[in-house]
Amino acid sequence: MKETSRSETERVAGNGLLHRRMFLTGSAAAIGAGTIVDQAGAAPLAVEPWMRIPGAPFNAYGQPSKYEEKVARTWASAPGTGGTGSARTPHHLLNGMITPSGLHFERSHSGVPDIDPDKHRLLIHGLVKRPLVFTLDDLGRYPMQSRIAFVECAGNSGALFAKQPANANVQAIHGLLSCSEWTGIKLSVLLEEAGIDPAAKWVLAEGADAAGMSRSFPIEKALDDAMVCLYQNGERVRPSNGYPLRLLLPGFEGNMNVKWLRRIKLTAGPTMTKDETSKYTILLPSGKALQFVFPLEGKSIITHPSPGLTVRGPGFYEISGLAWSGYGKIAKVEVSADGGKSWGLAALQEPVLSKAVTRFRMAWQWDGGPAVLQSRATDETGYVQPSRAQLVALRGDRGNYHNNMIQSWAVAASGEVKNVYA
C-alpha cells in the first residue's frame, strides 16, 4: 500500500534499490512500519513496571543491558589451547563505524598475556644511534595523535574460498575486522629519538606474548603513519588488543599491528620471522607464494540484512554495511539487489576517513521475491573490489589470506538470508 507512494524515478537499480537521496535529505516518509493509534487512545501509554520503582544505582564501569547478551564474540581455538585462534565481531548486531572495545575481534597466537604495565618495557635497538628503553611513564611524555582506523586479520573472509558456500553468517565469515579510535605516539618520533642509522631499511616488531609474535616491515611505513598505541576508544588498550602497548600499521594486515609490543629493531632487511615465513604468505595457483603483501585491498560487506536477520515481509528496508581499504579512503560503494546485474550508489556516512571503515546505506523496497544482495567498494586509488570469479581467477581457491571478494547474500521469499556464490 505504501509502495505506491514511491515514484519510479526513485529507483536506481533492479529489484527495488532506491536513490540515496533519502539519506542526504533525511526524508523517508511512507515506510509505514509504525502502528497507527487513534488520538483518544494514544495517551497514556501503559506505565510499565520499570517506571513504578526507582531504577538501578550508579556504578564505576558500565556494561551493556542484560537483554543484549547475544551480542557477543564467537571464537575457535586450536586443540588443547584456550587462546590460540580468533574471536569474531558480531557485525550483524552492530551499527555505526566504531566497534565497541569489548567486541573487537581478536587473533592471538598464544592467548592474552597478563602484563603488569609497571614492569613492561619497550626497547628500540638495532641500527640506531642510541638504543633506548621506555617505560609507560616515559612514553606518556611524548606528543600523541589519534586516528580512527580499522584492523583486519589477513585471514578474514577466507571462508569464501571454499568450493561451496558455507552456511555461515557475517560474524563467522567477516568477523575478523574491527574499527577503533587509536591514540598513541607516532613511531617516527620514537625512532628519531633513538637516531636512525642510514643503513636501516626494515623494522622488526615483537610482542610480549608467549608466542613472541613478530613481523618485519619496511622503514617507509614506520616513517609514514605507524603508531605505538596506548589508548583504544578513549581508554587504555584492552588486554586482547595489546595492553599496554600495540603497534598500529594503518591498512596493513592485522597480525602486523603487533600487540603487547615490547621491541622494535631497525634492520637492513626483513628478519624472516616464523610469522612471516611459516604463515601469512599468499599461495598462488602456480604453487608459488607471495610474501610481504602488507596492505589490505578495498572491500565491503553488507551487515544488514545478513544471515540470521530475517527480512520481515515486503516493504522498505535499509541495506547497510561497512567498506574499507588499506590504501586510503573509500570513494564509493555500489549495491546490487539482483546479483550484480545492476548497481545503485549507496550513501556514505561522514566522516569518510582514510584506512577506517565507512558505513554505507542504501534504501531498498523489497517486493517479496528472491533477491541477491551484493556490495562493491571502490577506493580513492580507483581500485574496485573484485567478484568471486575475478579473485579466484587471480589467486585460485586454495588460499586463505586477503580475501576481499564481493559477498553475496540471497534473500528468499520467506525472508531468510543465506551466503551464496553469485
Residues between 263 and 322 that touch a second copy (CB under 8 A): 263, 265, 312, 315-318, 320
Stretch that binds a second copy, among 189-197, 250-258, 276-284, 390-398 (CB under 8 A): 189-197
Q: Compute the distance between CA of residue 308 and CA of residue 120 in angstroms, rounded to an integer.
A: 43
- Grid cell in block for residue 249: 600499521
Q: Name the residue nearer to a second copy (CB basis): 158 or 212.
A: 212
Q: Are strands 17-18 and 11-13 parallel, antiparallel or unpaired?
A: antiparallel
Q: Looking at residue 190, what DSSP letter applies?
A: H
Q: Is 3 in the site for a second copy (CB under 8 A)?
A: no
1, 9, 36, 286: residue in contact with a second copy (rule CB under 8 A)? 36
User: What's the min distance (Å) between Cβ of 174 and a second copy?
Assistant: 15
Q: Compute the distance between CA of residue 363 and CA of residue 375 in angstroms, rounded to an integer.
A: 13
Contact 42, 12 (CB under 8 A): no
- The owner of cell 497514556 is 44
CB atoms inside a 10 Å sphere around CB 268: 11
Stretch that binds a second copy, among 231-239, 269-277, 384-392, 399-407 (CB under 8 A): 231-239
User: What's the min distance (Å) between Cβ of 81 and a second copy?
Assistant: 6
202, 217, 243, 421: residue in contact with a second copy (rule CB under 8 A)? 243
Question: Which residues within the stretch 167-186 sit at the binding site for a second copy (CB under 8 A)?
Answer: 181-183, 186
Q: Name the residue nearer to a second copy (CB basis): 309 or 391.
A: 309
User: What's the min distance (Å) between Cβ of 47 and a second copy?
Assistant: 9
- The owner of cell 624472516 is 272
Q: Is the peptide bond before 244 cis (omega within 30 degrees of 0)?
A: yes
15, 240, 255, 419: residue in contact with a second copy (rule CB under 8 A)? 240
Q: Name the residue nearer to a second copy (CB basis): 318 or 397.
A: 318
User: What's the min distance (Å) between Cβ of 352 and a second copy?
Assistant: 10
Question: Which residues within the stretch 64-123 sit at the binding site for a second copy (CB under 8 A)?
Answer: 64-65, 67-68, 71-75, 77, 81-87, 93-104, 106, 108, 110-117, 119-121, 123
Q: Is 235 in the site for a second copy (CB under 8 A)?
A: yes
Q: Compute the distance between CA of residue 67 and CA of residue 390 in angstroms, rounded to an integer.
A: 42
10, 218, 231, 314: residue in contact with a second copy (rule CB under 8 A)? 231
- Grid cell in block for residue 252: 596493513
Q: Compute the distance between CA of residue 226 and CA of residue 181 in angstroms, rounded to an integer.
A: 14
First vs last C-alpha separation in the chain:
32
- Grid cell in block for residue 51: 517506571
Q: Compute the distance between CA of residue 251 and CA of residue 229 in angstroms, rounded to an integer.
A: 15
Q: Is 376 in the site for a second copy (CB under 8 A)?
A: no
Contact 296, 152 (CB under 8 A): yes
Q: Is 355 in the site for a second copy (CB under 8 A)?
A: no
